[in-house]
Chain A
C-alpha cells in the first residue's frame, strides 16, 4: 500500500517537475549572498581546515542538498490538523507517519534528481574551483544523505505535531527553518563555530543533516569518522521516531476531529 502511495506521489511530482525546479531556483536566491561571501573569503583569506576548492564545493553542494531534503508536507499536515481533516487518516488502515513518509520521499527523490542535474552547469562553470568526489566519497555521501532525508522528515513531522496544541504555529515553523539551516552547517561549516558550540552541536541531530553528508562528499572524513557519524544519525532517527510515537499517542487522545 505504501509502495502505491510512493509511486503515485512520484508520478505527480514528475508531472510538476518544472514547478519544483522554479521553487528550488527561487529558494536558491537568498544563498547567493552566502556564496559571494565565501567566494570572497576563499580568494582573500586562508580558511582553517578547508582549501578554497573545498569551501566553495561545501557551500554550493550544502545549499543544493538542503533544497533537496527540506520537506514541504508539514504545511498540509498542520492545515489538516487544524481544519479537522486528520480524521480521515485515523479511520483508515494506515499509519499517518508512514503515509506521509511514502508520499514525501517521492517528492524528495525528484528534488534530489533536479539538484543533481543542477550540479552539472555549476561544475561546468566552476570546474577548476570545485572538488570532484571519488567513488568512496560519493558512496558515503549517498548513504549519509539518505539517512539525513529520514532525519529531516522525522524532525519536521515532530514539529508539525505541535499543530495539535498550537493554533499559530506558522511563525514557529519559519523560525525552525532558519535555525535548522544555521545549526546544520548550511551557512558556515560547523568546525568554524566556537569550540564550545561545536562540542554541543556534535550531540544534536542538526550536525548530521547537512554537515556530515557534505564532508563525506568533499572527502574530509575517513571511514571511522564516517561510520561514527552514521551510527549517531541512526540513533537520532530512532530517538525521533520514538518521540513521534509518544507525542502522536497524546495528540490523538486530545484530537476531536472538529478542527480548531
Chain B
C-alpha cells in the first residue's frame, strides 16, 4: 500500500514537471495540435472519399468511420501522452548502460520507465477524437448510454494492450542492442488500428488480430459503443489482453536477466 502511495506521488510530480516544461515551448505545443488535426483530417478525408464513391468501406458508413477514427485517436493520444516518450528511450538506456541507474531505484522498474515522460500536447488531441465520436453517435440508432462506459473501459484496456505490445518489441533490444527500429515498428503498427477490421481477411486477418492485434484495438470499443459487440469478440479481446500482458512479462523478465550492466 505504501509503495503504491509513493509510486503515485512520484508519478504526479513527474507529470507536473513535464507539463511545466511543455508550457515553455508554446509554439511547439500549438504545432503539435495542428499536426494532430491535419492527421485526423486526412484520415477522415480518405474514408469519406471512399464512402462517397462506394457507399461504405468494409460495411462502415460515415458515422461508423467517425466513431472508429475518434476511438483510434483517443487511444493513440493517450499512449503517446503517457507512455511513448518513456518507452522509446528504453533501448537507449539498455545500449548505454544507463538502465543500471533505473534498476536500482526503489520503484517498480517497468512502470517508472514507461511513465517517466508526459506529453501534454499529445493528450489534447483526444479532444478532436471525442468530438468525432460525438458526431458519429448522433447519427446511429443503436446507441445506449451504457455503451459510453463500456467504450471507455475497452479503450483503457486497448491502451494496456498497446503498451504491452510495445514493451515486448522494445525488450528485443536487450539482445540486439538496436536503438530505433523497434520504436518505428510499433508506431507504424499502431497506425493500422483506424481501419475497419472487416477489410482484413485470410492470413492478414489472423496476424493483425492475434499476433499484432491492431485490428481489435479501436474496432472493439467502437462495437461496444454501438451495442453491436458479440460475446466472441469480447472473449477474443480478453484473450489478447491477457496474452499480451503475459508475453510482455516473460520477455521483459528474460531481458532484464540477460542485461549486461555497464558497471561489470
Residues of A within 8 A of B (CB): 22-23, 26-27, 29-30, 32-34, 36-37, 39-41, 45, 47-48, 167-168, 171-172, 174-175, 178-179, 182, 187-188, 192-194
- 24 interchain pairs (CB within 8 A)? A22-B181, A30-B192, A33-B191, A36-B195, A36-B200, A37-B57, A37-B58, A37-B196, A40-B57, A40-B198, A41-B50, A41-B54, A45-B54, A168-B28, A168-B31, A171-B31, A171-B34, A171-B35, A174-B35, A178-B42, A187-B46, A188-B46, A188-B50, A192-B49
Interface residues of B in 176-208 (CB under 8 A from A): 181, 184-185, 188-189, 191-192, 194-196, 198-201, 204, 208
- CB-CB under 8 A from A194, the residues of chain B are 49, 52
Q: How many A-B residue pairs have CB under 8 A?
A: 83
CB nearest neighbor in B for A46: B54
Closest Cβ–Cβ distance, residue B137 to chain A (whole Å): 24
Shortest B231–chain A CB gap in Å is 26
Q: Whole-angstrom distance between the alpha carbons of A175 and B31 in the complex?
A: 9
Is B25 an interface residue when CB atoms closer than 8 A count as contact? yes
Residues of A within 8 A of B25 (CB): 168
**By CB atoms of chain B within 10 A, which of A32, A39, A188 has the most?**
A32
Q: Per a CB cutoff under 8 Å, which of B28, B34, B192, B199 touches A29? A: B192
Q: Using A172-B31, A179-B38, A194-B49 as known contacts, say yes or no to A36 and B189 having CB atoms under 8 A apart.
A: no
Given the complex of chains A and B, what is the CA–CA distance between A167 and B184 in angstroms?
25
Q: Does B27 contact A (CB under 8 A)?
A: yes
Chain A contact residues: over half helix, strand or loop, or mixed?
A: helix
Interface of B is mostly: helix
Q: What is the chain B residue whose CB lies nearest that of A193?
A: B49
A26/B185 in contact, CB under 8 A: yes
Looking at B50, B185, B199, the one whose CB has the most chain A CB atoms below 10 A away is B199
A10 to chain B, nearest CB (A): 24
